[in-house]
Amino acid sequence: MTASEASYVGLAKQTAKGSVNSTPGEFDYLLFTAGSSGPQNMVIPLDQEVGGGPLLRNVVKVGVTSAAAFQIIPRPATLGHFLAGVVGPDTKTGDGTLGYTHTFKLGADPFDAPYYTLRSAPGGLFGEQLQDCRVAALALNWKSPDFVRGAVAFQGGLPTPITYNNGTWSPAVDGSPQFITPVCDFQLDGAPLKVLQGSINFGVNIPMDEQFVAGSYSPDGFDINSRSIAMQFVMKINDGALYNKLAYDGAGGSAWAVEMFRNSAFTIKLASDQNVFATATPFSLQLEGDGKNDQTANVAWSVTPVNLAAGRQVTAVVTGIFMASPSGAAPITATLINEHAAAY
């Protein structure tokens, strides 16, 4: 019996679409709890035809893409790859003394994103290569007390069977420390929140209906048409003023109003209990809004009716939807601190 634990999945950034990365040292290999990757064959049957009898006469493959999706416990050494795909390019600072800080924001072209080459070896039995992959989705989930968990998905181009060779691939998996909820922090409107559990979801819309052109079995491109960012969390209600803003009047009035509570003065900090380079700086990921604390801010908040149950705390589910910033600032900034000077 072949163990899944004997499998490897790695990814490396490409210089451009169509430029497969085959440099072993540039691949980062993931640890994940479950997932899959491989070809997505488009199979169609031949139409029923008069005189052809009752059974199908042919089935053919007319196109192919590739896809991958993994459930992960995010780690700071490889998380930057995913953030580059769903947020934007990074700016690196630091000389390694206190770790390297990578700041991710939407790029000059917000419809652009890097391409990746993925390779996998299921059970170490055989190899597959997926080229021209873009990150299609990233979710980060937390529930205390626990690890921060998540999921990532890729959408890509032509798959290719390749030879798996442990020595050539150099599959040293990402062993950097996990983020844990006891050292995480959540704030909104300048005040700490008592968050029990929650998630933030990044989506990248890459429609395929206009990418298959006559003369090719694989897509012409993987253009991004739109992006989406939303967060949701369950919190203990201990602030009536904040609840009234979320449910009634975003401006803090005394009656229901059509305006939603818009505030991007929020911070989510996911952290590890371990420090980079044995310093006092922990491995961490911080997510922030554009900082405009007024009614034109780029995050619109809403709240469900409070949950009341005998013997339980008063809680509610809060949802934040990200929009374009009216000031032109980056709607969200992700700041990752790790020990990688390059390749995130």
Q: Are the beta carbons of 284 and 270 closer than 8 angstroms?
A: yes
So what's the pLDDT on residue 1?
60
User: What Cα–Cα distance (Å) separates residue 137 from each residue in 154, 267, 269?
Assistant: 7, 21, 20
The DSSP line for 65-77 is EEEEEEEE---TT
Q: Are the beta carbons of 4 and 44 closer than 8 angstroms?
A: no
Residue 296 has pLDDT above 80, yes or no: no
Give the model's confidence band at 294: pLDDT under 50 very low, under 70 low, under 90 confident, else very high: low
Q: Give pLDDT tens digits for 182-197.
A: 999 998 877 888 999 9
Q: Are the beta carbons of 113 and 87 closer than 8 angstroms?
A: no
pTM over 0.85: yes
Q: Give pLDDT tens digits for 63-104.
A: 999 999 999 999 999 999 999 999 999 999 988 888 899 999
- Mean pLDDT, range 293-297, rounded to an integer: 62
Q: Are the beta carbons of 266 and 301 closer than 8 angstroms?
A: no
So what's the pLDDT on residue 293?
53
Q: Give pLDDT tens digits for 2-29.
A: 899 989 999 999 999 999 999 988 999 9
Give the model's confidence band at 292: pLDDT under 50 very low, under 70 low, under 90 confident, else very high: low
Residue 132: Cβ within 10 Å count: 24
CA separation for the pair 21, 301 (Å, rounded): 42
So what's the pLDDT on residue 98?
83
Beta strand spans in the chain (E): 8-13, 28-29, 34-45, 59-72, 90-93, 100-104, 116-121, 127-143, 149-156, 159-162, 185-188, 191-192, 195-205, 226-236, 261-262, 266-275, 282-289, 299-303, 315-322, 332-338
pLDDT more than 90, % of the chain: 75
So what's the pLDDT on residue 61?
96
Tell me the pLDDT of the chain averaged across its residues: 91
CA separation for the pair 66, 68 (Å, rounded): 7
Q: Give pLDDT tens digits for 210-257.
A: 999 999 999 999 999 999 999 999 999 888 888 999 999 988 888 999
Residue reference for tokens 């691949």: 27
Q: Where are the domains of the chain?
A: 4-338
With 0-12 / 13-18 / 19 or more C-beta atoms within 10 angstroms meaning exposed / middle / buried, residue 262 is buried
- Mean pLDDT, range 26-44, rounded to an integer: 95
Give the model's confidence band at 264: pLDDT under 50 very low, under 70 low, under 90 confident, else very high: confident
So what's the pLDDT on residue 105?
93
